[in-house]
């Protein structure tokens, strides 16, 4: 045990953290009850190495989710910081956040199935904060409709993004076509009527 | 056993079928693993009576789902049969199907969590067929946009309805306000641009 948890072991495990997360996610998507032993085997590490980083499946899943959320928040922050018209910024934001969602869809799916709703809701709120701020700005600038609440419009954006991801997973929409379809739908739903001409 | 499954017993159970479905649903929503014994107790019937109708939790859940689906299909068929402008018919259809969804939300939630995806998808397709037909008609009549596929627009309607139901459950939207919010969002997303004036 002293040997297994030595600094060298831990350094190895850290170097492999991404590989462990990737392998673990893949296992958990196939079977949410995959044993830690099977995950260690899939990642090519010892069980002790695995446990030193991720004591439980839930912690592994939360770490994978955290990695994807950080990527999404970064992408959204970059786009939302744009000072241009809110509806145009929203269109760009939809496209870049679609790329993040498309790359991380399996993580979000596995996390949503296994983690407690309050954990999902917290990450979800963090991701959507820049979208909400942008919608509020758009409403002030009269680029985004004001007859519906910003909270509802954020929900609309979120649900339509997840709907598009679901359609891609089901093979009814291509990943290449999704950003255009999404943007056309979301802008029509959110823009003020004048803005739709 | 011969006595328990006698015709009189079965007649009693049939008379109580609705009560059994209601009680069973309530239990399964709180705990999807509720035992059949607990469901029988909650419904005020013997386990034999319960088993004679619903041999498994899944069959009970499917029966409850079927009851809700039949109600939804009936409501949608009535509205969709209207020969008026497709966008106006769609607005009415959103309102009446919202009432059905609102009344049966717990059934759909319990069913989605417990039944196999192909069962859910089949019921879902049956419910959405009139919506799809109406959208196709609207596209021909130029009341509904044609730059997006009918299949995607059906998904948009479905997702936004479920989003609204989720917001009501979470206490962020009132059930009274939901039909207006939904209709305003769906029509903006689906109507041709000229139709939005």
- Tell me the ipTM for this assembly: 0.77
SS3 category, A144: strand
Which range, of B61-70, B110-119, B132-141, B147-156, averages the lowest pLDDT?
Answer: B110-119
Decide: B173 and B167 in contact? Cβ < 8 Å. yes
Query: Of the CATH numbers 3.40.30, 1.10.287, 1.10.10, 1.20.1530, which one belongs to the domain with range A7-55?
Result: 1.10.10
Chain A: closest CA distance from residue B42 (Å): 27
The answer to whether residue B148 scores a pLDDT higher than 90 is yes
Sorted by sequence, the CB contacts under 8 Å of residue B158 that are 6+ apart come out as A163, B124, B128, B131
pLDDT band of B5, cuts 50, 70, 90: low
Decide: A20 and A36 in contact? Cβ < 8 Å. no
The answer to whether residue A177 scores a pLDDT higher than 70 is yes
> Are A152 and B181 an interchain contact pair (Cβ–Cβ within 8 Å)?
yes
- What average pLDDT does range A179-197 have in this prediction? 84
Q: What is the pLDDT of residue A197?
A: 37
Q: What is the pLDDT of residue A75?
A: 83
Sorted by sequence, the CB contacts under 8 Å of residue B10 that are 6+ apart come out as B52
Higher pLDDT, A127 or A195: A127
Mean per-residue pLDDT of chain B: 85
Q: Which residues of A73-102 are buried (b: 16+ CB within 10 A; e: fewer)?
A: bebbeebbeeeeebbebbbebbbbbbebbb
Give, in degrees to the nearest 5, the angle at Cα B182 between B191 and B186. 20
Mean per-residue pLDDT of chain A: 85
Residue of chain A with shortest Cα separation from B153:
A185
- What average pLDDT does range A16-38 have in this prediction? 85
Residue of chain B with shortest Cα separation from A117:
B170
Pick from A152, A185, A196: CB nearest B173: A152
Q: Give the Cα separation of B154 and B144 in Å (integer).
A: 12
Sorted by sequence, the CB contacts under 8 Å of residue B162 that are 6+ apart come out as A159, B101
Q: What is the pLDDT of residue A196?
A: 44
Q: Where are the domains positioned within chain A?
A: 7-55, 62-196
B189 touches chain A (CB under 8 A): yes
The answer to whether residue A2 scores a pLDDT higher than 50 is no
Pick from A158, A184, A193: CB nearest B196: A193
Percent of chain B at pLDDT > 90 equals 34
Which range, of A59-73, B70-84, B129-143, averages the lowest pLDDT?
Answer: B70-84
Decide: A115 and A61 in contact? Cβ < 8 Å. yes
- Chain A with chain B: Cβ pairs closer than 8 A: 57
Chain B: closest CA distance from residue A51 (Å): 30
Pick from A163, A185, A196: CB nearest B148: A185
Q: What is the pLDDT of residue A13?
A: 58
B148 touches chain A (CB under 8 A): yes
Q: Give the Cα separation of B61 and A147 in Å (integer).
A: 39
Q: Give the Cα separation of A35 and A89 in Å (integer).
A: 44
Sorted by sequence, the CB contacts under 8 Å of residue B6 that are 6+ apart come out as none
pLDDT band of A190, cuts 50, 70, 90: very high
pLDDT band of B100, cuts 50, 70, 90: confident
Q: What is the pLDDT of residue B170?
A: 86
SS3 category, A135: helix
B37 touches chain A (CB under 8 A): no
Q: What is the pLDDT of residue A1?
A: 46
pLDDT digits (tens, 9 = 90+) for A44-90: 989 998 998 899 988 998 898 888 888 888 888 877 777 788 999 99
SS3 category, B151: helix
CATH placement of domain A62-196? 1.10.357.10
Record the tokens describing residue A13, joined without a space: 């495990």
The answer to whether residue A130 scores a pLDDT higher than 80 is yes
Between A178-190 and A86-114, two packed helices, what is the crossing angle to 10 degrees?
A: 110
Give, in degrees to the nearest 5, the angle at Cα B135 between A184 and B141. 95
pLDDT digits (tens, 9 = 90+) for A84-119: 889 999 999 888 888 888 888 878 888 877 788 778
pLDDT digits (tens, 9 = 90+) for B10-53: 566 566 788 888 898 888 878 878 899 999 999 998 999 899 88
Sorted by sequence, the CB contacts under 8 Å of residue B77 that are 6+ apart come out as B130
SS3 category, B83: coil
- Which residues partner with A191 through β-bridges? A144
CATH placement of domain B58-196? 1.10.357.10
Q: What is the pLDDT of residue B134?
A: 92
Q: Give the Cα separation of B185 and B169 in Å (integer).
A: 19
């Amino acid at each position: 045990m002293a040997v297994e948890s030595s600094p060298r072991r831990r350094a190895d495990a850290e170097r492999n953290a991404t590989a462990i997360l990737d392998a673990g996610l893949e296992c958990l998507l196939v079977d949410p009850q995959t044993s830690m032993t099977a995950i260690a085997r899939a990642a090519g590490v010892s069980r002790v190495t695995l446990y030193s980083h991720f004591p439980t499946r839930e912690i592994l899943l939360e770490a994978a989710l955290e990695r994807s959320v950080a990527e999404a928040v970064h992408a959204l922050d970059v786009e939302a910081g744009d000072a241009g018209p809110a509806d145009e910024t929203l269109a760009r934001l939809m496209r870049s956040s679609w790329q993040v969602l498309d790359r991380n869809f399996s993580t979000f799916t596995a996390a949503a199935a296994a983690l407690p709703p309050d954990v999902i809701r917290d990450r979800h709120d963090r991701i959507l904060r820049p979208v909400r701020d942008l919608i509020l700005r758009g409403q002030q600038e009269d680029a985004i409709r004001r007859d519906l609440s910003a909270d509802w419009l954020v929900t609309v954006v979120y649900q339509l993004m997840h709907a598009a991801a679901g359609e891609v997973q089901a093979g009814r929409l291509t990943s290449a076509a999704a950003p255009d379809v999404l943007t056309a739908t979301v802008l029509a739903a959110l823009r003020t009527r004048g803005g739709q001409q």
